[in-house]
């Protein structure tokens, strides 16, 4: 196998990925590649990743439970702290039960893995996250996708199916920032043998979840909640079934209990709502200024604000230019997004200031000219 050729091909097509190195905590102001920058590409939407109260809770959790969990949940790794967090997450989402996973990626694979013998098809929104597509592949289902956010396209696809199946959608789309019409989808699939699964990685903690009866809800804890992990919530029997049948749940080490302890503090801060209010004001301000400057951002009222550039090389050049000017915004290229839709994906956080938003968008305007 010649990996060096493969890497040069990626480089030639402006598709080579590289990693910048942070020398500070995650936040709106960071030191990245030894440069002070304002970070506009973090999923730490509520600015909780470096919140003093969460750090204090994490230290408290480490003192009580140690550094690692030592085993998988079904052996000796499941602690009181995991149990209490699962109860809090079930209550927070208004569901009977919840189950923790180490990441959103493994939670999505975990749901599909458990449903291997239960479903005969899955239909997904065209812009769903890679982990949902990989989940479907894991259990050998063909990838069937409906047009993005298009209920008619979904209804047409459903008509062609028989037997039990799953309709799957992101709630907030990770690269576009727009939101699914969860209630509309639920109406269309109002049949006993079709289940709705939603991935709320980018909405959890920001928008009140809409979870139709007997549906499957997945959200992550490393984005707005500021720590790490993910959970699935839903009916008690379904969660019990996941515990029995989900291989990505069974065959992995449990999250450190200390993180679950810290996540209780995240939930408390999310409930308080102060960070959320700051974030919503920042999103509104971002939209207001970008409209004033006539910048053609996609329609989005979430923390994700994409500006489609088209060519990968242009998106990379703009991202580098902004970095030199002190703003970190990543260029998102295919295959993460469809061909010819490379973009700058801006993310707004609670702790950004209006001045930072205005300075950033001024630079973007200049870079577009
Ligand atoms: C929509 C969506 N689902 C799932 C995931 C995976 O979550 P995690 O980062 O916790 O593995 C992501 C990650 O970015 C995502 O955007």
Distance from Cα 222 to the centre of ligand 1, integer Å: 9
CB 190 within 8 A of CB 314: no
pLDDT tens string for the chain (369 positions)? 899 999 999 999 999 999 999 999 999 999 999 999 999 999 999 999 999 999 999 999 999 999 999 999 999 999 999 999 999 999 999 999 999 999 999 999 999 999 999 999 999 999 999 999 999 999 999 989 999 999 999 999 999 999 999 999 999 999 999 999 999 999 999 778 999 999 999 999 999 999 999 999 999 999 999 999 999 999 999 999 999 999 999 999 999 999 999 999 999 999 999 999 999 999 999 999 999 999 999 999 999 999 999 999 999 999 999 999 999 999 999 999 999 999 999 999 999 999 999 999 999 999 988
Cβ neighbours of residue 277 under 8 Å, at least 6 residues apart? Answer: none
Separation CA 239–CA 138 (nearest Å): 20
CA atoms within a 13 Å half-sphere pointing along the CA-CB vector of 306: 20
pTM of the model: 0.97
CB 365 within 8 A of CB 45: no
The full set of domains in the chain, from first to last, is 19-50+273-368 (3.90.1150.10), 53-271 (3.40.640.10)
Distance from Cα 29 to the centre of ligand 1, integer Å: 23
Among 33, 89, 26, which residue's Cα sits nearest to residue 350?
A: 26
Mutate to test the pocket of ligand 1, among 129, 148, 169, 252 (most ligand atoms within 8 A of CB): 129
In this predicted structure, what is the pLDDT of residue 192?
83
Residue bearing the CA closest to ligand 1, atom 16:
174
In this predicted structure, what is the pLDDT of residue 77?
98
In this predicted structure, what is the pLDDT of residue 190?
76
Distance from Cα 258 to the centre of ligand 1, integer Å: 21
What's 225's DSSP letter? T
Place of tokens 């396209």: 153
First-last CA distance in the chain: 44
For residue 182, what are its two tokens? 């969860």
Separation CA 86–CA 83 (nearest Å): 5
In this predicted structure, what is the pLDDT of residue 369?
82
Distance from Cα 168 to the centre of ligand 1, integer Å: 14
Helix then strand count (H, E) for the chain reads: 13, 13
Separation CA 77–CA 105 (nearest Å): 20
In terms of DSSP bridges, do strands 35-39 and 327-328 run parallel, antiparallel, or are they unpaired? parallel
For residue 313, what are its two tokens? 């090389």
For residue 124, what are its two tokens? 């997904």
| Pocket (CB within 6 angstroms of ligand 1) | 103-105, 108, 129, 131, 170, 174, 199, 201-202, 220, 222, 230
Cβ neighbours of residue 26 under 8 Å, at least 6 residues apart? Answer: 39, 42, 44, 49, 50
Mutate to test the pocket of ligand 1, among 136, 202, 220 (most ligand atoms within 8 A of CB): 220
Among 223, 196, 194, which residue's Cα sits nearest to residue 207?
A: 223
Mutate to test the pocket of ligand 1, among 174, 222, 347 (most ligand atoms within 8 A of CB): 174
Among 355, 350, 344, which residue's Cα sits nearest to residue 295?
A: 344
CB 100 within 8 A of CB 230: yes
């Amino acid at each position: 196998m010649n990996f060096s050729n493969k890497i040069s091909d990626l480089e030639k097509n402006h598709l080579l990925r590289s990693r910048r190195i942070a020398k500070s905590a995650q936040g709106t102001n960071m030191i990245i590649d030894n440069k002070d920058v304002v970070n506009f590409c973090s999923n730490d939407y509520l600015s909780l990743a470096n919140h003093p109260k969460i750090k204090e809770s994490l230290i408290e959790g480490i003192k009580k439970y140690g550094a690692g969990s030592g085993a998988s949940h079904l052996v000796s790794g499941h602690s009181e702290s995991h149990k209490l967090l699962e109860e809090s997450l079930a209550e927070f989402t208004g569901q009977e039960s919840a189950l923790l996973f180490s990441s959103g990626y493994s939670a999505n694979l975990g749901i599909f893995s458990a449903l291997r013998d239960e479903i005969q098809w899955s239909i997904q929104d065209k812009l769903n996250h890679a982990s949902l597509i990989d989940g479907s592949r894991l259990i050998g289902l063909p990838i069937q996708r409906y047009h993005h956010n298009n209920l008619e396209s979904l209804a047409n696809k459903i008509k062609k199916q028989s037997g039990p199946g799953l309709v799957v959608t992101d709630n907030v789309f990770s690269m576009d920032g727009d939101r699914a019409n969860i209630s509309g989808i639920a109406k269309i699939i109002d049949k006993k043998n079709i289940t709705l699964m939603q991935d709320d990685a980018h909405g959890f903690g920001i928008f009140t979840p809409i979870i139709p009866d007997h549906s499957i809800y997945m959200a992550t804890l490393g984005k707005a909640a500021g720590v790490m992990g993910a959970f699935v919530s839903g009916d008690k029997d379904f969660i019990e079934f996941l515990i029995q049948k989900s291989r990505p749940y069974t065959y992995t080490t449990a999250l450190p209990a200390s993180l679950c302890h810290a996540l209780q503090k995240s939930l408390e801060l999310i409930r308080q709502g102060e960070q959320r209010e700051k974030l919503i004001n920042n999103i509104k301000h971002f939209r207001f200024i970008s409209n004033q400057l006539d910048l053609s951002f996609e329609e989005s009222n979430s923390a994700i604000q994409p500006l489609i550039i088209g060519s990968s090389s242009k998106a990379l050049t703009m991202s580098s230019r902004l970095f030199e000017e002190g703003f970190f915004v990543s260029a998102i290229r295919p295959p993460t997004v469809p061909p010819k839709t490379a973009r700058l994906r801006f993310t707004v956080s609670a702790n950004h200031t209006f001045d930072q938003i205005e300075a950033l968008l001024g630079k973007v305007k200049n870079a577009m000219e």
